[in-house]
Structure formats: C-alpha cells, structure tokens
A and B are shown apart, each in its own frame.
Chain A
Amino acid sequence: MSSETVVRPSDATAPDGSRSGRSGRLRGLLRWETGLLVLLVLVVVFGASTSSDFLTRSTLFYLGINIGYVAIMALPMTLVIMTGEIDLSVASMLGLSGSTVGLLWHHGWSMWPAMGVALLVGLVGGALNGLLVAKVGLPSIAVTIGSLALFRGIAEIMLGSLVVPGLGDRQFPAGLTSIGVSPVVGTPLAWGFVVFLVLALVCGVLLHMTPLGRSLVAMGLQPEAAQFAGIRVALIKFWLYVATGVLSAFAGIIYTLQVSSVSYNAGTGLELNVVAIVLFGGVSIFGGRGTLPGVVLAVLILGSLQMALTQRQVDPNVQNVVTGVLLLLSVVVPSGGEALRRLRARSRHPRKNRPSTAQPTSSPA
C-alpha cells in the first residue's frame, strides 16, 4: 500500500496539459466497465446455452435472493474502499444483526421493534469502527478484523446453539418472510435485490454526481491533499463506517427474513465475497479509483455465473476456481498495467514521459 502512495503524487501532480495521459486512463476505465458488460453478456449466453432453466423468471428471482443481501453490503464497501480504507466486519455485523432480531423475538418482542434495535446495533458497531479508524487513526484492516471477531463473538454469546424460532417460539410473521419466496409484485425481482438497485442508484449519484462523492475520490487518491483542500476526511470516514454498519445490519435483517430463521453463524465468511465484488467491479483496493456501475455489473456477473454453473451442475470446486480466476484477473489486469507503466516510467525519465506510458492500462479484458 505504501509503495502505491509513493507513486500517486506523480499521478496527482500530472499537469492538466497532459491530455493523452488523462484520456488514456479514462479509456482504461471505460474499457473495464465495457469488459464487464461483455462478460455479463457472455455469462448470460453461456447460461442460456447450457440449461433451459436459465432464461426464466425464477432464475432472476433466485439470483436476487442469493446475491441481493451480499450486494447491499457491497455498496457502502465501495465507498469505503474508494477512500482507501476497508471494512471486513460487514458479514459479522450481518450475523450480529440477525442474532439481535432472533434473540429479541425469542424473548417475545414483535418484529418491527426488533428490527429497529438490530439497525441500532449496526449503527453502534459502525460508529465503533468509524471512531477507531477515523478519529483514533488506526489502520482500518486491523480495526475491522478485530470487530469481525468481536461482532461474531457477541452474536455467538447471544444465541449460542439456539436457532430462532426454536421449539416453543412463534414463527416469524409470514408477511415479512414471504420476501424469501415471492418476488416484488409485478416483477420477477427479489425484494432484497430491488432494495439493492435503489440503494445502488443513491450511492451512484452520491459518488459520481455530488461534491461529497468527489471528496471520497480525493481522499482515496491523496488523503493529505484532501485534508488541505478543506475536506473533512475524518468526519466523512466516520459516517461512512456508520453507514456500512447500518446497511450491513439491514442486509442481516433481509437474510434473516429470507430464510425465516436465525443462527449466530449466518453469513460467515461473506466479507470476502463483498470485497471481491467491489474489486471485480473495478474499484482499486488503494482507493480513489472505480465506479459504482462497475460494482453493479460485478454483482450481476457473479450472480448469474453462480446460477449458470449451479444449473449446469458444475462441481462447486470448479465454480470456486472460475470465480477465483475472474477476481484475480480483476486485480491483476489493472494494477498489472499500472505496475508496468510505473516500471517503464522509472526506467526512463521519472517525470516527463506521459504520452508513451498511458497505453498499457488499456488492456483489461
């Protein structure tokens, strides 16, 4: 990470005049999303060609069921990674939120207040992360690995081996759990997926069309410069973590209702899927680079790929390999190009070599 920030200044100080450098990078970014789009079409064609079940409403519905709640967590994660930070506690917060709902339900609460408390837990957990990262200034990866264990541990203490609703418990309200079995009226889309689409629109507008969004990009590219430019880096980061906590808790509620039960280990290990989606969407792990539509495309690709491979009865180990290779490519291709450019830049003239260096980035797909 540090070697990256060493290089960044030369990027940031690149004079506006170097047009080919900028447009080269722009082209690279465009191509990444284009590449994703092509890939999505390929996946859909692949799915359709291998199983007659693929091009159906139910596939679209199940896709939403399977990836909707994961994708919801990917949205705030995109914003967090844009600022150069990370939050690995999202899946544990999903489990903690579900466990909160479950425990309160077990003790006779009704569903809506229980869900309210779960969101509050998300807010508090997110604020804890935010406080430690933004105000205290601890590295986010260390902080959130800690809260990953902490949140899951609390969930385990709360529920233990209890699966709610257990013997003697009321069933969850059928009206709410129907989100796991029936789509939004008049569409083939799962509720969780629709929520994701709406939130994606909000986050997209926020990131790409508001000053706040530009601030996030600036913070990711050059935290110090952003600070000096008057951006309230710590405050923004704090609220990003709060938002991540709340939305992860919300994802936990959606998952809980979908499977109409809770056990403490819900969503174990999902944080890696969330980060993978974001990176596959073209967001740089070093921050400052990436687009929200890219992340949406990544969600669609991974979701459809899983549906297609499962329908085709592909061995899940092979499925893991396929997804793994795609994700590796998404990290290797862009930063590989960048590394190449950096190497060339160093071997020639450290600063005045814009035109020739822009090309290697544009080879993602």
Chain B
Amino acid sequence: MSQIRSVRRLATAAVAAALACASLAACTSGSSGSGSSSSSSSSSGSANKTVKKGLTVYFIPKDTQNPYEVLADKGGQKALGELGGKVVVSSGTQDTAAAQIPSVQSAIQAHADAIVVAANDPKALCPSLNQAAKQGAAIVAFDSDLECGSSPTHLFINQADTKSIGTSEVDLLAKQIGSKGDIAVLSAAASATNQNSWIKYMKVQLKKYPNMKLVKTVYGNDDPATSLTVLQGLLTAYPNLKGIISPTTVGISTAAQYLDTHKDVASKVTLTGLGLPSQMRKYVKDGTVQSFELWNPSDLGYLAGYAAASLASKVTTMTPGAKFKAGRLGQYTVAGPAATPSVVLGPPTVFDKKNIDKFKF
C-alpha cells in the first residue's frame, strides 16, 4: 500500500515538475533580441557634450534601511531628477553580497544605463557587474570600493580624501580656539590605519599654527567606556588643554556627553572631530560643541548620480584627468593613477547649529 502511495505521489510530482518546466520554458522564447537595445541607443554620445535625458541608473546600497545610504540614494535621485533621468533603488535587507546580486541582475535585465553600488563584498559582485558592463552599463562604486580589477573597470566616488580630513579638522579647531593653546587627539584604536593617517596630516597642518601645540594622542578603541577613561586621564594630565580633536564618531560622542555633564570643563575645552549629526545634534544645540565634520552622504549620492549619468552618456570617461560637471557641486576631475580611477567628493561638511537639523543620519 505504501508502495502505491509513493508511486502515486511521484506521478503527481512528475506532472507538477513537467508543468513547472513547461511554464518556465515558455519564458525562454522572448529573450533573444533584447541584448542589443541599449548599445544602439548610446552610440551618438561622444560627440555632443550634454548628459542624455531618460537615463536609468540603478542605485544598489548595502541594504535598504541604512539611514546613511538612504540619504545617498536620495542624493542620487536628486541628481538624476535634474538630468531628466530616473533612479531605481534596489538591494536586500541584509548586508551580504548574495542579497545584492539579484539587484544587479535586475539592472542587467532592465538594461540600466549605469549601476551605482555600495558593495558588501569587494569581489563577489564583480562577475555580475562585469556582465552589466559588457551590456553597456557604466559602473560606479561609492561608500566602499570594489576590487574587480579590469573586469569591469569602475569609477570610485571617494567620500573624502585622507589629507583633507586631517587638514580641515585642525583648521576647524583653530578657528574656534583662536589658533592658540594646547590640544590633544582622542583617536580610536592605536592600530587604526585611517585614524593614524588623518593624525599624520593633522601634524603637518599644525605647522601652520605656531601657537597651537599637540600635547598628546590618546586611544579610546572606539569603545565608549575606554574613550571616557582616557579622556578623563587626558583632562587631569593637561589642565590647560584648550581643544580636543576626536576623528571618530564614538570618541566625539563620548567626549561630548562628558563635557555636557561637566560644564566647568566644557567652558575651557573645545571639542571637534568627525561625528554623526544624529548623535551630536543635542550637544550642538545646547552649545557644548560648536561644530564638527563628516562628509555629506546626500552629496556623495548626488555626485555618484552625476558621475554615473556622465559616464553613461559618454560625456566623460574613467581615464585620469577626464572631467565632468556635477550640478551644484561644480566640476570634478577623475583622479589616477591609483588602482582604480576615483573622484573625491571634497572637503568634509561642517555641521553646526545652523544646519544640523537638515541632516537625519
């Protein structure tokens, strides 16, 4: 009896499978002509110098909820809106490459003119992106770079270069403390490459301010408790400290919280650095912190949108030295000759009482 049951079950299943195959196989006929449509439309690009209208640019963020990336996507939408094109935002809910691959595929199927991607994995998206590039899509990376080599070549939109972060933070602090007094740095881990290279450029920039002296760099390991401990040690050891630069979001928010509850210290010490507006809003509004920096994710997406549209319209190329216009941000030049062609957004955005309510990340 069980034998019969299993056979009957198998039979139904076979029918089911056959039907499934048939219904899917029916799909196969309509596709042959579709590969050529995008290439024909983009042939006349190089001669005229304007970005084409009606472009479709896929924005593939790391995931769809990350507020930072949502702002970048909106920036991209604004850019394409100005250019008469459209943005499709597509990604998964998890920060994995596997969740982004279907989005690349749908961009390929929709014959997107360009793909702007914040990759969750530097390499895993390369095969799919290469297919898109072969079909004529321009590939642009932002937030975190791809490592695809030449398959495909892509343009990286760098949020801010190392030098301008270090330099601008010193300038910012100098403005607030009248270019005079002892200062210190509250960093993340002692081994953090990005932090150390920023501090290196801070020291270079400090040579322009002979009356400002960097007395100490302390490391809070991007941990609030550790940051607080080393901060207290710093304030005890250097009672004449005038300013602190904390080029890490954890460090600056911990320090701001401490200063907020110790007004006597806050009246003597000025704090600045790299911070998230969402974490720092309260302290900027109540005057504990005058201003701090970070790049503007919305501008980042806006620039990526213009770059993608310009590349897709063949108004610019990925060759170092190539130029393109990015709306209200002005003109940009592709930098080289590093591993990947890139464009730097520019100096970081300074957040203060006046503008902080505009940034929701």
Contacts and interface: CB of A to CB of B under 8 A. Distances in A.
A293 B10 contact: yes
A29 B98 contact: no
Contact of A292 (B13, B94, B131): B13
A55 B27 contact: yes
B122 A293 contact: no
Interface string B52-96: 000000000001110000000000000000000000101111101
A13 B127 CA distance: 56
A261 B292 CA distance: 39
Nearest to B14: A293
Interface in B243-286: none
A120 B188 CA distance: 42
B97 to A, nearest CB: 7
Given A56-B34, A60-B27, A66-B102, A209 B127 contact: no
Contact of B126 (A54, A260, A311, A320): A260
Interface residues of B, number: 57
B12 A30 contact: yes
Interface in A288-330: 291-294, 296-297, 300, 304, 306-307, 310-311, 313, 315-317, 320
A315 to B, nearest CB: 7
Given A56-B34, A163-B123, A261-B124, A41 B23 contact: yes
Contacts of B23: 40-41, 44
Nearest to A31: B12
Contacts of A270: 98
Contact of B12 (A41, A209, A263, A293): A293
Contacts of B65: 317
Contacts, number: 162
Given A40-B20, A66-B102, A315-B64, A259 B109 contact: no
Given A58-B31, A293-B16, A310-B106, A261 B126 contact: yes
B109 A56 contact: yes
Interface in B5-25: 5-10, 12-14, 16-17, 19-20, 23-24
Nearest to A311: B106
B121 interface: yes
Contacts of B108: 58
A351 interface: no
A77 interface: no
A269 B9 contact: no
A259 B17 contact: no
Interface in A32-63: 33-34, 36-37, 40-41, 44, 48, 53-60, 62
Contacts of A180: 127-128
Interface residues of A, number: 65
A177 interface: yes
Contacts of B109: 53, 56, 58-59, 62, 311
A293 B13 contact: yes
Given A181-B127, A204-B10, A306 B102 contact: yes
Interface in A51-84: 53-60, 62, 65-66
B102 A261 contact: no
A60 B12 contact: no
B46 interface: no
A56 B7 CA distance: 34
Contact of B1 (A16, A36, A268, A316): A16
A258 interface: yes
A54 B20 CA distance: 15
Interface in A244-267: 258-261, 263, 265-267
Given A66-B101, A181-B127, A297 B106 contact: no
Interface string B120-162: 0111111110110000000000000001010000000000000
B28 interface: yes
B197 interface: no
Contact of A163 (B1, B7, B16, B121): B121
B30 interface: yes
A57 B28 contact: yes
Contacts of A163: 121-123, 147
Nearest to B32: A57
A343 interface: no
A43 to B, nearest CB: 10
A56 B92 contact: no
15 contacts: A41-B23, A57-B27, A59-B109, A60-B28, A62-B102, A66-B102, A180-B128, A259-B97, A263-B124, A266-B124, A292-B13, A293-B12, A293-B13, A293-B14, A311-B110
Interface of B: 1-2, 5-10, 12-14, 16-17, 19-20, 23-24, 26-28, 30-32, 34, 63-65, 88, 90-94, 96-99, 101-103, 105-106, 108-110, 121-128, 130-131, 147, 149
Given A34-B12, A260-B126, A293-B14, 16 more contacts: A37-B19, A40-B23, A56-B109, A57-B27, A59-B27, A163-B147, A165-B123, A214-B2, A259-B126, A263-B121, A263-B124, A266-B98, A293-B16, A296-B20, A315-B64, A316-B92
Q: Which 4 A-B pairs have the closest CB atoms?
A: A293-B13, A261-B123, A56-B31, A55-B27
